[in-house]
A = this chain, B = another copy of it.
Amino acid sequence: MDQPFYFELLHTDKHTGARRGRFHTPHGVIETPAYMPVGTQATVKAMTPRDLDDVKAQIILSNTYHLYLRPGHELVKEAGGLHTFMHWDKPILTDSGGFQVFSLAGINDIREDGVMFRSHIDGSRHFFTPEKVMEIEQALGADIAMCFDECADPNKDHAYAVRAMDRTHRWAERCQKAHTRKDQALFGIVQGSVYPDLRIESAKTLASMNFIGYGIGGLSVGEPKHVMYDMLETIRPYMPENKPRYLMGVGSPDCLLEGVMRGIDLFDCVLQTRSARNGLALTRNGRLMLRNKTFEHDFTPIEEGCDCYACRNFTRAYIRHLIKADEILAAQLVSMHNLRFSLRLMEDARAAIENDCYADFAAELLGRKLF
């Protein structure tokens, strides 16, 4: 193939919408469905790149908003791009900052041209336009860049959601026009809030624009999970079959399983590493608050059968001690485990899809209701 990016749809599960695919990028292949660890500030918190290799991460996500503010995209470019800067030579995806300017920064003003916001670091004023965001993402140089979008509050009414969606579509066009890097794939983002008609319209509009892949944004932002699942069902027929589908900011274990079932190929979520730093471990038998006294004399690993470095070598009792003693190693070990847990869940999901038994696989795990 001449083109640097292509998605192979290898197989679709016979009984669900789950897809087994392979996305080719300049920094390697991503077997899908895939979970992407989040490296907000050009580092997956408490993980070295070799730790990420060790948990078998295929791709990581980093945040345009954060890197623009600190250290600045120009500096990252000067360093040789994000891969070189953070010493990660596998694929990277950068979001567009759309979600962060609406959730994290203080917004002054949303205009047709762009968004005025205040830095969460020092309160300084900044203006993001689609063109500016494309400049930043191209400077960062990830394999996948996301269009700048408006992530509308799900509590806003239909009329507002229409305006936000239409603006997102116009911004997507401007992004396409401004995006020139051939070694970077630009993904469009389906919006439309909690309104099925708008989601369908957004999926159709973006499909007609022929992006290399598609994000689904503005879900899991406060609405109940079943609303998100229904929405994924609703838009599925309108998403191009031969393009990767990325459910943005979603990746708890139950959402991973439910999302895959509905044809999602890519996920990202900070839950794995954030909860790890609070001593919460994910396992197929439920969450463990490792700080609890019940683990004081528990000399078993976090999760029996897990092949991560933490589970191969350390006990719950030791990790509990580290947590109680405020030791950094606790965050390192539990992060490793939670990432490996999620990546292994996706590995097993991929195998289940190949064997047309994804429904049983997911049902068995979801039935434990332990996530």
Contact = CB atoms under 8 A, between A and B. Distances in A.
A309 B45 contact: no
Contacts of A50: 309
Contact of A43 (B49, B70, B80, B327): B327
A321 interface: yes
Interface string A296-316: 110100000000010001110
A46 B79 contact: no
Contacts of A85: 315, 317-318
A47 interface: yes
B331 A328 contact: yes
A318 B70 contact: no
Q: How many copies does the complex hold?
A: 2
A71 B328 contact: no
Contacts of A70: 321, 324-325
Contact of A329 (B48, B317, B325): B48
B317 A75 contact: yes
Interface in A34-49: 41-43, 45-49
Nearest to A335: B328
Contact of A327 (B41, B75, B317, B322): B41
A220 B224 CA distance: 61
Given A70-B321, A299-B79, A329 B45 contact: yes
A94 to B, nearest CB: 16
A332 interface: yes
Nearest to A41: B325
A274 B325 CA distance: 16
21 contacts: A42-B322, A43-B329, A45-B327, A45-B329, A46-B332, A48-B329, A48-B332, A50-B309, A66-B325, A70-B321, A70-B324, A71-B317, A75-B296, A75-B317, A78-B299, A79-B299, A85-B317, A85-B318, A87-B313, A328-B328, A328-B332
